[in-house]
Structure 1
Amino acid sequence: MAEEKGTGGQETSEKMIKVDVVKFIQGLNKGQLISLGIMLATAIFLLGSVVLYLSQEKMVPLFREPLDAKTFIEIKDILQNRKVPFETERNNKILVPETQADDLRVEFEALDMTSKGKDGYTYLDQTNPLQAGETMMVIQRLRAKEANLARYLQQNPGIKNAYVSITPAKDSPFADEQQPAKASVMLELNKANRMSKSSVEGIQQYIANAIEGAKAEHVVITDQYHNLLSSSTPEDEDAALSQINLQIKNEMERKFIRKILNVVEPILGPGKAVAQVSLDVNFNKKKTVQKVYGGPDNEGEPLAQSTETKEELTNQNATGNPAGAGANVAQGSIPNNANGSSTTKRTATTNYLIDEKQTTVVEAPFEITRISVALNLDYREVENGEIASGFFSQLMGSSDAYEIQTEALSEEELTRIESLVKAAVGFVPKRDYFSINNFEFKPIISKRAAAQLRSGQLIERLKQWTPWIMQVVVFFAFILIATRMFKRFVVPILEQAQLEEPVTAPALPSGTPKTVAELESELDSELNDMVSPVEVTKAEIVRKRVLEFIKEEPDTACSLVRTWIMEEE
């Protein structure tokens, strides 16, 4: 029962709403109906435009490479016959809905209706080696490699087109006449797209490895405006090494700065600290060879390895042999002189065993010899609880509506921050230098420069508010144009419709309107019944009665006046 009552109540309310709507429409005149129709048509048109805009599919290129004229026309005819929505761009490119792009691409590739020459090896397939010769085959190989490299580069979404030119290496039996292979690359980038340094270096490495005899420094990359994207590398090895060392030093300094800010900013807030780090780095490699000899044995004596003993015996006689030829003649046995002497000499050589230890130490490629840190801290912001005065002070100041005051950090806070930063960078007291300062980040400039700075800030804020201001201006302009169009086109229609309506006078209280003669007779009788003509004239009585009648029955009075005018005409 409750459900039936609820359903019946809903049906009754719906019927009442329908009746009210029908009565409202029936109560409108012709001009009001026209105005209502125009407004409904405008609303439906705007709603349909929004729905159509939101329901449009994203258009993507059917093929990234431009099509030749014949293939372009054939694909257009096929899409038109199938009633597939498409758009065309310059360089013979066709855009199709994203949901149908994959299926169409596969189908056209199966029909061999794709961009010609996107595969570099087609140059080799179309060349007969027997007719072309060795020189032409070398040129065709270069063209094939250039086309394949350009095709690879076009896979990057930020690159619209790419052109690669290769200069082959020059071989010579003389070393000073040899030249390495080189390559030039021109990238046609999409609008508002910038290649990162890592992307450019990656392209250099890829192209250098794809070309025989080329290095990354021999690959030059530019954009369509001939801006150099690749960094030139010095040919001198020492200069190149110095440049690499400088890059390593700068990267290390940036890492130290990030470490310092990661420690300080959570305490003071973003933008409240400025850090600079300077490193002294030694990039000289060192190789140290150290020899350590073994010590004595347990008794404190050196260890003996071997001992060599040598003994010599020498005899000396008192009388010598006779001089002359007789010395060479054999003599009889002569006994030794009892007065002769003999000498014995002994020599001992001992070889000791000595331990030898050799150590080779190779130090790191670079060594930090000194760290210099400069840290500047801004004052702390404190709210005083008072509302900021003035609209512009709130607009140009902080995001909240309270006034902000600044105060310096205490010595204890500075000491704690200093200890944290030193621990983060690995500070060595006798080697490194550290400086910390606390002052308000407020530029010391002249009044003129301060005024220019404020004007610049105002301009920046106006730039931020410009989109909103433009929307408001467009809205009021639309309202103004709509009002003028309404007055110019709709108001005349309403006035014409009002004039075309039949003029009917409402019935008088007596039921039938009175004639002029009857009204004049009534006025004469009233004049006779009232005071003497000397005090009140007929015109005054008529004026009084007319004013009273108009106040009591304004609609009836208007109808009477209209009826009198029509009778006179």
Structure 2
Amino acid sequence: MGKLSEVFAKIKDKVKSMSVGQKIAFVLIFSIILGFIIFYTSYSRANKYGVLFSNLSAEDGNLIKQALEDKNVDMKIEGNTIYVPKEQVDSLRLELAGSLTGGSTGYELLDESSSFGMTDEQFNLQKLRATQGELERTIKSFSQIKNARVHITPGQESVFAKEATPAKAAVYLELKPGTKLTNDNVKSIIALVSGSVGNLPKENIEVIDDKLNLLSKGLVDDEDSSQLIGSLDKQQETKKAFDKNLEEAAMEMLSLAFGKNNVNVTVNSKLDFDAKEKTVISYDPNKVEASSQIIRENTTSGGSAPAQSPLDGNMNNTTPDGNGGTTSSSENITTNYKVGETKETVISAPGKVENITAAVIVNGQLDEATKEEVKKLMAGVIGYN
């Protein structure tokens, strides 16, 4: 430290002994040397790093950053680009490439880019990319999905409805190891994509997995038929449950008389599963006067008139006055009656019993009286009148 102080003291004395011109030259030379040292240091430091990955999404950038920190690797981050020492670029890139998830860019794509100066076609393309990215993010949030890609072909609009073409979409799914998608899962993904894109019918969406299996095959086309089949299956299950309840009730009653293992009962019912609505309108025969209107007219005219009997018209009388003229009067009576009306709407719930048949097998010989008792018992159980 003392030697360094002596050196600075000698330099200081030397500078003091210089002329003004020498001092200026010394300062210039010193500034150039110092600037060169700073430039060289900065250049060497900048040249030390190489690009590991660029254009990373926030998700991928965080994964790579965490991996480098775990390995204690010196790194530099500028925007969405990560730098590491040049000699480590190749090895780290090979090692960490598998960690990238291909993060999707969503609506922030529209926030980052200004629409000023864009054509309509360019803006629609940006919007399409943003929609694809948002769908990919949503699909990747499902527990079975490791990665997803969505490709949308927009529909062509036209002022003529017949010439407009609907949009199409393809969804690629990479599943997590050991997971599997059910048909309902695939239908949910199809509904998600269809609802997020205008004029995109469900039948125009194809879903494939990383093993090239077409997961959406027949799902949309068979949706209506499957609903019908499901409804028929439910009706059959209802009928079977109804028959079984009657069989068990009959078996319980007959087993008391003949023993549990000596009786077998089979019931077959016919149920009407059609929902019916009936409207009945009835009228009250007793009429009620709602309104009445009476119009009377009196007309007087001069001159002679032929004699006319008051009975010539039902509602018109004409009589001569004392001056040789005539006086005419008429009366019009209108009466409105209100008829009472009752409107009743009856809705029949599906499942009405139309017919029931039952067969009973009893182990042993039965006389006619016992057979009649069994018939009466079965009629009571199944509700036969």
Higher helix share: 1
Higher strand share: 2
TM-score range, shorter chain: 0.3 to 0.5
Larger Rg computed on CA atoms = 1
